Amino acid sequence: MNKSILSTAVAIALSASALTLSSAQAADLIFQPGDDARFSWSSYDALKSIDLKGEKVSVFGPWLGSEKEHFDNVIAYFEAATGAEVEYAGSDSFEQQIVIDAQAGSAPNVSIFPQPGLASDLAAKGFVAALGDDVKQGVVTDYAAGQSWVDLATFKDSKGEKNFYGVFYRADLKSLVWYSPDNFDDAGYDVPESMEELKALTQQIVDDGGTPWCIGLGSGAATGWPATDWVEDLMLRTQPASVYDQWVSNDISFDDPKVIAAIEEFGWFARNDQYVDGGAAAVSSTDFRDSPKGLFASPAKCYLHRQASFVPAFFPEGTKLGVDADFFYFPAYESKSLGNPVLGGGTLVSITNDSKGARSFIDFIRSPIAHELWMAQTGFISAHVKANPELYSSEAAKKQGEILRYATTFRFDASDLMPGKIGSGAFWTGMVDYTGGKDATKVAKDIQKSWDAIK
């Protein structure tokens, strides 16, 4: 066989092999590209211009079980389009292991941080690669409250200079109030659209002979944390986000009048015997997992319950969201003109071992298609304004996504960002003391003393 014929035969064989690989990859994709016009397939097609054949991209994060399966399904599209091989590993000890790997020089290309604080710590030690201005501007443009997400991923490097270090991919919400639509309909109540209306509704329920709120702070050794979420939400509704950030970093003291005012706003709801199921004395002793059950009692023990998006896990078995239970945005004060702040969390995708593949993977993660592919499965809320909300797997997820899309400010749980002895210690116990009757100023001063002691 002459060289020309041999070359042609080899080329045909390689082409057939590539087609077989492409077909196999396509068969592994849970949604076939181009089949459903709701997906942003153009952002998938754009990946095909990136040639990463032969390159491996290691990704490490906290997702296991069904979450890992959902993420693997998303990753498959990046592999199919670029030719890269992505190896994702999940661990329930991510926070400890990524520090060990980074210090040993064996960090993965990409790390998925459940909290930005750990990424900040590693960035300060030079273990996280800064992202470019194009990526940062893309987040500002493509994410609701985009500057908030940029701020949350901006840390100091080893020289003390601030850089942008990651893209948030999956979010969750805390600024929610849960209720029973049937109970609201029977009583003739409307969903409040401002904090002023929520307070008026609270009093109206009392005037009608009912109890407005179920609140429980019990959580074993972590008792008190639900109250910190209340105070954080109220800080964002009574003060600009810049003040919230100063509170988190202790640039303003915990006993600053602005913080004390937010604690007392929580007290307006929680320290009034008429407003809380069981009276104010029951708030600290009621387990947070049991507290929403009053919504479903007959007759209802309460009409309102403020808690994060995970709380349906503690509703009575068989409860149907949108039918037996629903939620609305914990509203802002109309009189304060602070926009629509949202309290929540999210996972930060950062580069911990730089490579072309890692950079391309970050670009993929911030594209609409990467968000839509998980939205269409389950358990994913996105702040990406170009991701199609019609792809959410449930009406509840779609409603939560809408709240996030209309947020003007987004902030993480303050207690999670404060030093552990404060956010997971003095703040928790201080809120228990406060609901038990201790003066807000005294509580705040005690927390500040604890903070001063660890500086």
Q: How many whole angstroms separate alpha carbon 245 and alpha carbon 410? A: 11
Sites in the chain below the pLDDT cut of 70: 1-27
Alpha carbon distances (Å) from 211 to 83, 140, 275, 277, 295: 60, 43, 6, 6, 10
DSSP code of 143?
Answer: B
Which tokens in the block code for residue 356?
């072309």
pLDDT of the residue at 19: 36
Please state the separation of Cα 20 from the chain's center in Å. 39
One DSSP character per residue, 152-189 reads HTEEE-TTS-EEE--EEEEEEE--EEEE-HHHHHHHT-
Q: Which residue has the tokens 């996280």?
A: 128
Tracing tokens 């997400």 back to the chain, one arrives at 149
Distances (CA, A) of 355 to 43, 75, 163, 403: 21, 17, 18, 36
- For residue 455, what pLDDT is reported? 84
Rounded CA-CA distance 455/58 in Å is 37
Which residue's entry shows tokens 């949108």?
322
Q: In one letter, which amino acid is 344?
A: G
Give per-residue pLDDT as tens, 337-349.
999 999 999 999 9
DSSP state of 89: E
pLDDT of residue 5: 36
Alpha carbons 330 and 424: distance in angstroms, whole number: 24
- Which run of H or E residues covers position 326? strand 326-329
Predicted local confidence at residue 28, as pLDDT: 85
Report the pLDDT value the prediction gives residue 84, as an integer from 0 to 100: 98
Q: Which two tokens stand for residue 349?
A: 């995708």
Rounded CA gap, 132 and 257, in Å?
39
| CA–CA gap between residue 369 and residue 374 (Å, rounded) | 9
The reported pTM is 0.88
The predicted structure's pLDDT at residue 424: 93
Residue 208 carries which DSSP code? Answer: T
pLDDT in tens, 20-78: 334 335 548 999 999 999 999 999 999 999 999 999 999 999 999 999 999 999 999 99
Confidence (pLDDT) at 117: 87
**241: helix, coil or strand?**
helix
Cβ-contact 258, 444 below 8 angstroms: no
CA distance 150 to 135: 10
Tell me the C-alpha distance between 30 and 73, whole Å: 7
- Neighbouring residues of 328: CB distance < 8 A, sequence distance ≥ 6: 176, 177, 179, 191, 192
Q: Is residue 305 within 8 Å of 179, Cβ to Cβ?
A: yes
Which helix (DSSP H) or strand (DSSP E) does residue 203 occupy?
helix 195-207
CB atoms within 10 A of CB 429: 15
Round the CA-based radius of gyration of the chain to a whole number and report it: 25
Query: Is residue 381 within 8 Å of 401, Cβ to Cβ?
Result: yes
Distance from chain centroid for Cα 3: 60
Phi, psi angle pair for 368, to nearest 5°: -55, -40
Between the CA of residue 376 and those of 71, 111, 112, 381, 387, what are the distances in Å? 12, 23, 21, 10, 11
Helices (H), 35-180: 41-45, 65-82, 94-104, 116-124, 133-142, 146-152
